[in-house]
Structure 1
């Protein structure tokens, strides 16, 4: 959506940036009465912190399924608030978002699985340990029983990113090649979701790489766009 992010309080005259605070309340007096003083700018990214420390601190106190529920709830709130256009600037599809959305899907499985294997629990704990630092387990560590969680998580992440990518590029004329690349990316996402994410983890990773290259290509990097086209053409979801 397009908003006027630079605000001026009509009560006390204080000016602040909604883009920085994520709040419509005046930081000086708390009033909710303000006016925009800039042009409307595309903005989909809300200010939200992602800290799993309280969940990690409960590891020795609660059962794994309860721990997973707590992690799932925190990840859901973070992912719900995140967007990729900030004050008109396109953000990257970053590792913190990817780790959070994967942990959301893995934690959902862990919270419901009454016969959790050691490798599945260890993978969940690895995500819990590092997700809010933007670190993800390598593809070779993904248990076969959880590969659908990573595949579906990344497909959903790319779906959301593609939506914001289209929003961000809406005011410019895309070339036929750029439009085709965006359409192909969407087709891959649809197929992965139809497969319920059950693809090889390396294929899910290549989808992310293609998305990042496409974003950089639409920013004007010709080599990145060429790589995106090649990755999208070669992506094997079997």
Structure 2
């Protein structure tokens, strides 16, 4: 969607950034009578949304795990639905919070069915619940361009994911990358003729290759090892960095990762 960034209240005259608030409601007087005041419209898909699992975590010892999972899954799904990756015409990185929300959404669906879980599977779900929202609304560009974060307040490292749960991570990452790739492609299209033809061609080629790898993982219902799921995300971030910064080394890195994924 292409929108004007600045809005003006027709009742009190206040101005604010739609890109920051995602709302046409005046922050000063609450009026819904506002208009865009800039001629230029920019691609904008991101919506400010909070992702806070505090109350769900507090229920872990008080309610059945199935109920906890249902609530966590609902919150994660809502966050994923509202998120986007282009803000005011600027392509943003693929951040860890979005990845974690996708993974928690898929894991909660399995746990919420009430199936018997092994100790490792229960630990995996609770680890996701503990750290999925640790990054706040969104990670910084530096964090988002780094390898996915793990640790006490992050989701489990690849070698910590139970084998039975690896398809959850694989499918979650594939879904996240598919959505991010779609917005990268839209962003490239919006650049039109402003970039160099050679750069546009290489960008579209990289996006096409990325799409092929995503489709493969989705066709397997995510049943790939966790290390390959991480590799898919890293390749995506390489492509993103090439698009946003014109970093040729990032494109070389993406192609290298594509080759390893194809092995």
Normalising TM by the smaller chain, what interval?
over 0.9
Aligned position for 2:101: 100
Aligned position for 1:143: 162
Count of aligned residue pairs for this structure pair:
237
| 1:163 counterpart (147, 162, 182) | 182
Shift of 1:81: 0.4
Aligned position for 1:116: 117
Structure 2 distance, partners of 1:6, 1:210, is 35
Structure 1 distance, partners of 2:252, 2:223, is 28
In the alignment, structure 1 residue 222 sits paired with structure 2 residue 241 = no
Structure 2 distance, partners of 1:192, 1:223, is 26
| 2:227 counterpart (202, 207, 210) | 202
Structure 2 distance, partners of 1:77, 1:11, is 32
Aligned position for 1:11: 11
Aligned position for 2:88: 87
| Cα RMSD, aligned residues only | 1.2
Structure 2 distance, partners of 1:168, 1:99, is 24
In 1, are the aligned partners of 2:185 and 2:204 still within 8 Å (CA)? Answer: no
Shift of 1:233: 2.2
Aligned position for 2:22: 22
Using structure 1 for the length normalisation, give the TM-score.
0.96
Shift of 1:191: 1.0
Give the secondary-structure state (helix, strand or coil) at the position aligned to 2:16. Answer: strand
In 2, are the aligned partners of 1:46 and 1:83 still within 8 Å (CA)? Answer: yes
In 2, are the aligned partners of 1:155 and 1:189 still within 8 Å (CA)? Answer: yes
Give the secondary-structure state (helix, strand or coil) at the position aligned to 2:25. Answer: coil
Aligned position for 2:211: 186
In 2, are the aligned partners of 1:148 and 1:198 still within 8 Å (CA)? Answer: yes
Aligned position for 1:42: 43
Shift of 1:234: 2.0
In 2, are the aligned partners of 1:95 and 1:136 still within 8 Å (CA)? Answer: no
Equivalence map 1:126-137=2 (5 Å): 126-134=127-135, 135-137=154-156
Cα deviation, 1:109-128, whole Å, max 9, x if unaligned, reads 01114211111011100010
In 2, are the aligned partners of 1:102 and 1:154 still within 8 Å (CA)? Answer: yes
Shift of 1:106: 0.5
In 2, are the aligned partners of 1:96 and 1:133 still within 8 Å (CA)? Answer: yes
Structure 2 unmatched ranges of 5 or more: 136-153
Using structure 2 for the length normalisation, give the TM-score.
0.87
Structure 1 unmatched ranges of 5 or more: none
Structure 1 distance, partners of 2:9, 2:43, is 21
| 1:231 counterpart (254, 257, 261) | 257
